[in-house]
Amino acid sequence: MRNPTVAGQFYARDTSGLEKEISRCFGDLDISQQNIHGAVIPHAGYMFSGHVAAYAFAQLPEADTYIILGPNHTGLGSAVAISQDTWSTPLGNVETDKELGKSLAGSTLDVDEMAHMYEHSIEVQIPFLQYRFSHDFKVLPICMGLQDEETALEVGNQISSAIKESNKKVFVIASSDLTHFEPENVANDTDKYLIESIENMDVHEFYRRISERSATACGYGPISAMLTVAKSLGGRTGKLLKYGTSAEVTGDSSSVVGYAAVVIE
């Protein structure tokens, strides 16, 4: 069992409080399933990025399995690590798709729970899925410590092949925040520049722009792997639904973190 690591920090620890917190994030958003093929969703504390994340979650389609690709902030475990534990949150337990995980394991991706033990980037996405969907879905958490372009493309291509062979409805989420700890005007400019290449689904250009700006988006590998999967499944263009920064909450525009909700249509 993978127990919550950041409950009580990034989101409410108790069931009722968490449901109310997520409900506030959705606010008056229209919640309806859209024909989308992937999404970029931020992973900060709900008070900071939950309202941005909700824009993407409001459009997610029902799926048998949600693959959640997140960066490895802790440095623990394998370079690209699959979890096959049951994941627990204050809203209940979610099983992992062991069959799909098994089909991916053995080359670039390893089954390794250590990489997931204290990592928040995937954990914070799961309560949103539990709140949004009542059907019996599974998740497949994949934590990327290695995020170079070659690895991201390889991970994306392997996931694409596994999905096509599985005969399941699978949706891929890339968990990522954008610019970290820059003045708000710098973050806005850099993030707009990066989001443009995500919308164009151009992975190579995305990496070029990250290098050019020395950008600090933490989940660039997961984003690129997701884009690779989405393109192979029929995705043609990205659409920015919502952008914001931590300054909206803290009032401090001198050092912000950027958040974006982007879906692939």
* Mean pLDDT on 153-179: 98
Q: Strand 256-264 and strand 180-182: pairing? A: antiparallel
Q: How far apart are CA 1 and CA 87, in angstroms?
A: 6
pLDDT at 18: 98
Nearest in space to 36 (alpha carbons), one of 222, 197, 170: 170
Confidence of residue 220 (pLDDT cuts 50, 70, 90): very high
Q: How far apart are CA 61 and CA 132, in angstroms?
A: 10
Q: How far apart are CA 213 and CA 210, in angstroms?
A: 5
Confidence of residue 102 (pLDDT cuts 50, 70, 90): very high
pLDDT at 107 exceeding the cut of 90:
no
* Mean pLDDT on 136-161: 98
User: CB-side exposure of 202: number of CA atoms within 13 Å?
Assistant: 12
Q: How far apart are CA 59 and CA 31, in angstroms?
A: 6
pLDDT at 259: 99
Confidence of residue 61 (pLDDT cuts 50, 70, 90): very high
Sign of CA dihedral 25, 169, 262, 107: positive
pLDDT at 38 exceeding the cut of 90:
yes
Please name every residue paired with 170 in a beta bridge, in sequence order, or none if there are none.
65
